[in-house]
Amino acid sequence: MDKSLLKNLPTAPGVYKMLDDSRTILYIGKAGNLKKRVSSYFTKSNQSLKNQRLIHKIKDIDYQITSNEQDALLLENNLIKEYKPKYNILLRDDKSYPYIYMNKTHDYPGFKFYRGTADKDEQLFGPYTHVSNVRKILAILQKTFLVRLCEDSYYRSRKKPCLQYQIKRCSGPCVGLIDKSEYKKSVESAVMFLKGETSSLFEKMEEEMAVASENKNYELAAKFRDNIALVRDIASHYSIFPENQSIDFILGYENESKLLVDINIIRNGVNMGCKNYIFSKSNYENINETLTSFFKQYYLTHVPPNLIISKDKILDKDNIESVINKKYQQNSKILNRIDKKYTEFMNLCSTNLFNRSLRTIKKDQNLLKNLNTQLKINVDFILCFDVSHISGSSAVGSAIYYDKDGFDKKNYRKYNIVNTKKSDDYAALKEIIRRRLLKLESFESSHMLIIVDGGKGQITQAKKVVEALECKNVNIIGIHKGLNRLSKNDKILNNINSDITNNINQETLTLIQSIRDEAHRFAILNQRKRHNKLMFNSKLDGIPGIGDERKKIIINHFGGIQGVLKASIRDLKQVSGISEKLATNIYMSIHK
């Protein structure tokens, strides 16, 4: 390209288009200063692989001046959608999210699946990330609140109740089997549920249960009791934030071939699910640039919540905020810092994205083959071992099996540690490795990799078992936590205790970490089951501040001791008379 073209560029804001020799648009971008931005592509400090490929093909540059940078952002988004340039990230998401729809003006409103925008007579609940979630929630509304899901045309044509009424999935408003005021109460409860207003909903249902009980309508009271238990169980899975919070958590991750973006959607305190996107990495090198382009395209077509939290830096944050707030007439904020109260949820989101990256890689190449190449070994399967106990009691071990098809749960094994002294982790590890190997066919000659959760000491114990059993084709590695016990600081040691973390690629490290995490999860799960069996007395007995009366209130609130065991500290605080300090003591006591 003739670089003299750069001298003629204006310093005004606008949109630039990079063209090849056939005047096909290669890339479209926006700038607050066109001359400064376009010239930056040709400096030595901006020679990423993407830019090298792009610059080699550029033969001309076209531009369009705008009144300000916000207008440039809008124009850039429209032009990218129209021309679909090769070197731009293109968000292919024209299909709107699914919602749950209700007609507010109908005497007996119904609920149904819906896509699109609502008019003033309609109310939409959502958005939901998956159609299956909408179907499940509609089924819950029907079963719990007996509201109708039929079309208005079907409703008007009924002369007698349909099958849904017969199987107790509808209250029969179409033929007058419920009056308008009672049906309105059911609709109000359903709307509270959809909005995530679970506290208000529980109060309403508990009052209705009490009234029914006072009137000696015990069948109706039992129905309310069952509905409270059902909704409380559902809410415990979905509701994770205060009811007035709506947040998008956005994370990006890059592996050797792909860039992945996840949007975790929280609306009115309810987790609506995760929306996944994937982009080829062949043309996009910088994850911050990719996320910035993604933000501009996504939030110009999707209504944002009041708070958007991104783990990675958004380069054009202020302009994007300005444009979407002007477009939607609201005050949305984009944050790159993560408050402490959101850390646990963000870590969970990161784990999900990490695992999705693994599944993506698996489509492109065989993970086990890649591990064999990186570790310079030749194994057919992997066994990973972990030991879990509570202060030495209820000790269990886990053995996870992984082969070319991934995790094989049929070959998972759990072990109760009975032949080992209390708190002797080394002896427990030796015991479960020996027991597992002896159950394998041809264990002496099997080509396998053993992964132990730990360092030099654990590797030494595994080697002793392998040598004692005279196994010929077994490789051993250990994975142990590094600084601050963060996953990013994990260290991989080989069978001579050398650190090989920097000698393997990210995909191999991720695979080893995921296998370790699965072994730990399986061990913890079975350790808790065993511990619960040993605890035959009520978990609430002996807790300071919990007498017989308060214990009864707690158990009634959660519908039994199993409900208490599932409750978080936040759930326990909702019980009448339970302070945050007491809720913490209860939680720590029943889970110690």
pLDDT digits (tens, 9 = 90+) for 185-224: 889 888 887 776 666 777 777 887 888 888 888 877 887 7
Residues 6+ apart with CB under 8 A from 431: 397, 415, 417, 419, 420
Greatest mean pLDDT range, 142-156, 286-300, 455-469, 567-581: 455-469
3-state secondary structure (DSSP) of residue 24: coil
Does residue 90 or residue 285 have the better pLDDT?
90
User: Between β-strands 381-390 and 333-335, what pairing exists: parallel, antiparallel or unpaired?
Assistant: unpaired
Give the separation between CA 434 and CA 438, rounded to whole angstroms: 6
Say how many residues make up the chain. 592
Q: Which amino acid is it at 541?
A: D
**Quick one: pLDDT band at residue 287, thresholds 50, 70, 90?**
confident
Q: What is the pLDDT of residue 464?
A: 94
Q: Which parts of 147-217 fold into alpha helices (H)?
A: 152-157, 163-166, 180-195, 198-214
Q: Which of 26-30, 305-309, 359-363 has the lowest mean pLDDT?
A: 359-363
Nearest C-alpha neighbor of 154 from the set 123, 125, 180, 175:
175
High-pLDDT (> 90) share of the chain, %: 16
* 238-268 per-position pLDDT tens digit: 555 665 678 899 988 877 667 888 888 887 7
3-state secondary structure (DSSP) of residue 292: helix
Compute the CA torsion angle 430, 434, 436, 441 (nearest 10 deg).
160
Nearest C-alpha neighbor of 250 from the set 321, 300, 304, 286:
304
* 431-440 per-position pLDDT tens digit: 999 999 998 8
Q: What is the pLDDT of residue 536?
A: 34
Q: Tokens in use for 301?
A: 């077509």
Compute the CA torsion angle 520, 523, 527, 530 (nearest 10 deg).
160
Residue 148 has pLDDT above 80, yes or no: yes
Give the separation between CA 314 and CA 168, rounded to whole angstroms: 51
3-state secondary structure (DSSP) of residue 415: strand
User: Between β-strands 381-390 and 307-310, what pairing exists: parallel, antiparallel or unpaired?
Assistant: unpaired
Q: What is the mean pLDDT of residues 499-522?
A: 89
Q: Which of 364-373, 455-464, 497-506 has the lowest mean pLDDT?
A: 364-373
Give the separation between CA 184 and CA 173, rounded to whole angstroms: 11
Does residue 299 or residue 421 have the better pLDDT?
299
Rounded to two decimals, the pTM is: 0.42
Other CB atoms within a 10 A radius of the CB of residue 527 amount to 24
Q: What is the pLDDT of residue 313?
A: 85
**Quick one: pLDDT band at residue 531, thresholds 50, 70, 90?**
low
E strand segments, 464-548? 474-480, 491-493
Give the separation between CA 459 and CA 452, rounded to whole angstroms: 7
Q: Could you give the C-alpha distances from 20 to 1, 29, 162, 425, 571, in angstroms and in order?
A: 9, 15, 65, 65, 61
Q: What is the pLDDT of residue 95?
A: 53
* 82-111 per-position pLDDT tens digit: 788 888 877 655 456 688 888 888 889 999
Domains plus CATH for the chain?
3-83 (3.40.1440.10), 98-233 (no CATH), 247-362 (3.30.420), 366-516 (3.30.420.340), 537-591 (1.10.150.20)
Nearest C-alpha neighbor of 193 from the set 150, 146, 140:
140
Average pLDDT, the chain: 81
Q: Tokens in use for 297?
A: 């395209």
Q: What is the pLDDT of residue 94?
A: 46
* 36-93 per-position pLDDT tens digit: 888 888 876 656 666 777 888 888 888 888 877 877 887 888 788 778 888 887 765 5
Over its C-alpha atoms, the chain yields an Rg (Å, rounded) of: 30
